[in-house]
Amino acid sequence: MRVLLLWLSEMDMDASPPVLAQRIHRRLRELTGVDDPFRAAKEQQNRMAWNFLHELKGEIETALDPLAMAVRLAIAANIIDLGAKTGLTNDDMLSELAKAVKEPVVGDMERFRQAVAREDHSILYLADNAGEIVFDRLLIEQLKPARVTLAVRGRPVINDATMTDAEAAGLHELVEVIDNGSDAPGTVLADCSPDFVRRFNQADMIIAKGQGNFETLSDEPYNIFFLFKAKCPVIADHIGLPLGTHVLVQAGAGILKQGEGGCAYAGT
């Protein structure tokens, strides 16, 4: 802690929170000699999510609007975030999923619906956390998976999903899975691999999960739809919505307040 606090005091605080988190967790891996300190927690989160998968498939299949239900559940799963909450239990997840069935999603669902209806358009789906990625499968299944490419982090950071987690969720059997070449808990395009940036630029539509992706991409001029739960006061204030809101918003849409600043916690 002493080493990190001294080092943190000299960092550029104008950098986005995911960039600061990237540097902190790189240093933690160096200090501990452990490449993936959260591996056991991620495996537990993936198992926990699998326990709910069959029941949630039933919720979607019987819903009057299966796409909207899949969106609700995918956003609800954004609670699985060790940067924001440690010690997530089955009861926590059950409570969040129960609320998600009735929780309004703020944003433009119709614009999202119209975008995914373009069956000739390719979709790049940016995953967020382990465990959460299992619930992403439910939404991807509604998007006609043949045109979807799933992107995960290139290296372990916090509990963000990597290729190992995508495989644990069986997503490699459903869609093409690539990694972004970066260990930032977000999508910092300048730090991503050239191949990922090429795929990002070529995608007709991008779905970005989690606050980390929102913090790093919300100013980018692409057709991006952000799906996340507003988990910190700074982000909630930035988008002009109450803390805890389930958000589906397109980059550049009017729901977003113009302003500065990012979330002050180092999660996604």
Asked if residue 36 belongs to a domain, the reply is yes
Asked if residue 198 belongs to a domain, the reply is yes
Contact 205, 232 (CB under 8 A): no
pLDDT of residue 165: 95
Asked if residue 261 belongs to a domain, the reply is no
Asked if residue 128 belongs to a domain, the reply is yes
Is the model's pLDDT at 21 over the cut of 60? yes
What are 33's two structure tokens?
Answer: 């000699």
Confidence band of 184 (pLDDT split at 50, 70, 90): very high
Is the model's pLDDT at 262 over the cut of 50? no
Lowest mean pLDDT among 93-97, 121-125, 171-175, 212-216: 93-97
Residue 236 has φ and ψ, to the nearest 5°, of -60, -45
Is the model's pLDDT at 267 over the cut of 50? no
Asked if residue 29 belongs to a domain, the reply is yes
CA distances (Å), origin 125, targets 122, 147, 154, 207, 226? 10, 10, 15, 5, 10
Q: What is the mean pLDDT of the chain?
A: 86
Is the model's pLDDT at 101 over the cut of 80? no
CATH for 30: 3.40.50.10880
pLDDT of residue 82: 52
Asked if residue 259 belongs to a domain, the reply is no
Lowest mean pLDDT among 16-25, 83-92, 246-255: 83-92
- Quote the domain boundaries for residue 92: 2-250
Indicate the number of domains in the chain: 1
Per-residue pLDDT reduced to its tens digit, 105-119: 899 899 999 999 998
Asked if residue 239 belongs to a domain, the reply is yes
Asked if residue 267 belongs to a domain, the reply is no
pLDDT of residue 259: 37
What are 247's two structure tokens?
Answer: 């958000």
Is the model's pLDDT at 212 over the cut of 60? yes
